[in-house]
Amino acid sequence: MQSLIICALILAFISPFMCIGLSATMEAYNVIDFGAKGDGKTDDSQAFLRAWERTCGAEGMTTLLIPPNYEFLLSRLTLKGPCNASRIQIQIGGKIVAPAKNKWVSYYFTWILMSNVNGLIVDGREGLLDGLGFTWWPCKACQRPSVISFNACNDLRVSYLRIVNSPRSHINVNDCVNAIFSAITIHSPANSPNTDGFNVYASKNIWIRDSTIASGDDCIGISGNSSYINVTEIACGPGHGISIGSLGRGNDNTAEQIYVRNCSFTNTTNGARIKTFPNGSGYAREITFEEIKLIKAGNPIIIDQFYNDYSPKDEGVEVSGITFRGFDGTCVRDKAITLNCGPQGCFNITLDEIKIVSHEEGKQVYCSGKNAHGTVTATTPNCSCLSP
Ligand SMILES: *[C@@H]1O[C@H](CO)[C@@H](O)[C@H](O)[C@H]1NC(C)=O
Ligand SMILES: *[C@@H]1O[C@H](CO)[C@@H](O)[C@H](O)[C@H]1NC(C)=O
Ligand SMILES: *[C@@H]1O[C@H](CO)[C@@H](O)[C@H](O)[C@H]1NC(C)=O
Ligand SMILES: *[C@@H]1O[C@H](CO)[C@@H](O)[C@H](O)[C@H]1NC(C)=O
Ligand SMILES: *[C@@H]1O[C@H](CO)[C@@H](O)[C@H](O)[C@H]1NC(C)=O
Ligand SMILES: *[C@@H]1O[C@H](CO)[C@@H](O)[C@H](O)[C@H]1NC(C)=O
Ligand SMILES: *[C@@H]1O[C@H](CO)[C@@H](O)[C@H](O)[C@H]1NC(C)=O
Ligand SMILES: *[C@@H]1O[C@H](CO)[C@@H](O)[C@H](O)[C@H]1NC(C)=O
């Protein structure tokens, strides 16, 4: 009797692991088996595509395997769905490098594109994507590609991905619903142009967590009809901070239900930022930044309704329901808090438990604002410019 119980217990414990074991033995397509050389010189794009066609076309759970200890040169890669496979995993073990600028034959908005693949899991442990951005950066006027874009990929999980040297933004998330990005490492120099870490566009239910982003533009930029976006435990810097917007151009100018928590801004030109064009339409609302650590940040808190244009207009993007709570640390400029709202005003702004001091001892910092309405509690520097 007792041995029967023990046996049942053992089975109860083991069977979930057996499921994991089974999924690990699911069909795997190794790019090497499809002719990839991985010598860092041969263009392996076609081999990757052949492996992808099999991965995507097979039934059930499949894996595209990009093995470690190789360097793959890819000219440009588009991995398209919809797929027959119910669940696809892409394991990036090796290093993947982009061609240098002079090897690109024409302009594409992205180097690697994943499009219309639902239930995709990307695991980049040991892997690295190198966009060779330093061959592009000197040409600021050039149309430069992003490293990787996820277009219309629902139920997406991306983890342990390391990306360096993007010619433009590192990761674009366009038109996706339900995605989690975790343990992502992004690195490009502070002076590299337009190298946003993440660009979230027209997406919903996105969680970006536990990641380190050093770049030459926004660590994370959220714009264009996005909602229910969580950003937690991000170490940002250098970079331009975490930005909502810019909103107001085009017809996809909404951002709402955005929650940024427990992030740090180190040596960034901005921290928590909302930027809108003065003459546009749309809204930014129900946005919270809280538990934010500042180390030599410029503009730690900033709402700017005059982005790239200083002429006041009566219309404009509605900014309301914005909370900044629990900011602590140092800033490099005198102006710690900027609430620069247009003539139409910003509403329901909450500032609470904020303590921002200058990184230079004894130097005063201040809060500046106009047309901003809301409440201030426990905030240093004082923000008497905020009216009810
Ligand atoms: C999906 O399976 C069908 C039937 O086996 C096949 O005709 C089709 O080519 C497959 N799709 C892909 C993307 O491979
Ligand atoms: C975002 O955070 C909120 C509050 O913790 C939670 O209810 C929600 O499910 C989260 N959404 C995503 C997409 O992670
Ligand atoms: C905040 O983030 C740090 C790491 O960045 C982590 O150690 C800590 O547990 C987080 N705190 C909360 C309350 O999530
Ligand atoms: C905004 O996003 C929703 C889905 O989240 C979509 O239905 C709608 O068409 C989008 N609107 C625009 C203008 O892109
Ligand atoms: C801050 O960034 C600048 C470049 O933007 C760099 O020169 C400087 O060393 C950085 N300082 C710290 C403390 O990281
Ligand atoms: C706003 O002004 C910019 C130039 O300042 C222009 O490109 C854009 O079309 C204008 N948008 C609207 C909605 O009027
Ligand atoms: C401000 O918040 C209050 C209470 O939550 C709400 O009734 C009001 O509509 C909000 N106003 C704006 C302009 O968002
Ligand atoms: C608020 O700060 C300003 C300077 O930014 C100062 O002139 C004013 O006295 C302060 N008010 C209070 C109540 O501390």
Nearest atom within ligand 8 for CA of residue 382 = 1
More confident residue, 325 or 10: 325
Q: Ligand 2 within 6 A of 205 CB?
A: yes
Q: Which residue has the least CA distance to atom 2 on ligand 8? A: 382
Whether residue 262 is predicted with pLDDT greater than 80 in this model: the reply is yes
Secondary structure (DSSP) of 223-256: ESSEEEEEEEEEEE-SBS-EEEEEESSTT--EEE
Q: Which residue has the least CA distance to atom 10 on ligand 1? A: 57
The H-or-E segment that residue 197 falls in is none
Q: What is the pLDDT of residue 208?
A: 98
Q: Which residue has the least CA distance to atom 13 on ligand 3? A: 262
Q: Ligand 6 within 6 A of 334 CB?
A: no
- Output the CA–CA distances (angstroms, integers) from residue 189 to 95, 109, 195, 322, 387, in the order listed: 20, 21, 9, 31, 40
- Output the CA–CA distances (angstroms, integers) from residue 276 to 247, 257, 323, 360, 373, in the order listed: 5, 17, 17, 31, 17
Quick one: tokens of 28?
Answer: 């795997």
Query: Residue 56: how many CB atoms within 10 A of its CB?
Result: 19
Residues 157, 119 contacting (CB under 8 angstroms): no
Per-residue pLDDT, averaged over 181-202, amounts to 97
Per-residue pLDDT, averaged over 265-271, amounts to 97
| pLDDT tens per residue, range 349-372 | 999 999 999 999 999 999 999 999
Q: Which residues are catalytic?
A: 217, 240
Q: Which residue has the least CA distance to atom 1 on ligand 7? A: 348
d(CA 18, CA 12): 10
Secondary structure (DSSP) of 276-318: E-TT---EEEEEEEEEEEEEEESSSEEEETTTT-----SS--E
β-pairing, 61-66 vs 27-30, is parallel
Query: Residue 6: how many CB atoms within 10 A of its CB?
Result: 10
Per-residue pLDDT, averaged over 2-12, amounts to 38
Using alpha carbons, select from 175, 182, 232 the residue that is nearest to residue 204.
Answer: 175
CB within 8 Å of 201: residues ≥ 6 apart:
172, 173, 174, 175, 223, 224, 225, 226, 252
Please give the distance, rounded to the nearest whole angstrom, from the Cα atom of residue 258 to the centre of ligand 4. Answer: 16
Q: Ligand 4 within 6 A of 252 CB?
A: yes
Q: Ligand 6 within 6 A of 315 CB?
A: no
More confident residue, 64 or 224: 64
Q: Ligand 7 within 6 A of 348 CB?
A: yes
d(CA 77, CA 92): 14
| pLDDT tens per residue, range 295-323 | 999 999 999 988 876 666 667 889 999 99
Q: Ligand 6 within 6 A of 313 CB?
A: no
Q: What is the pLDDT of residue 240?
A: 97
Bridge partners of 304?
Answer: 275, 340
Please give the distance, rounded to the nearest whole angstrom, from the Cα atom of residue 88 to the centre of ligand 1. Answer: 15
Per-residue pLDDT, averaged over 2-30, amounts to 49
Q: Which residue has the least CA distance to atom 4 on ligand 3? A: 233
Q: What is the pLDDT of residue 21?
A: 39
Please give the distance, rounded to the nearest whole angstrom, from the Cα atom of residue 133 to the centre of ligand 5. Answer: 20
Please give the distance, rounded to the nearest whole angstrom, from the Cα atom of residue 109 to the centre of ligand 1. Answer: 28
Phi, psi of 166, rounded to the nearest 5 degrees: -80, 140
Quick one: tokens of 308?
Answer: 């790239």
143 pLDDT band (50/70/90 cuts)? very high
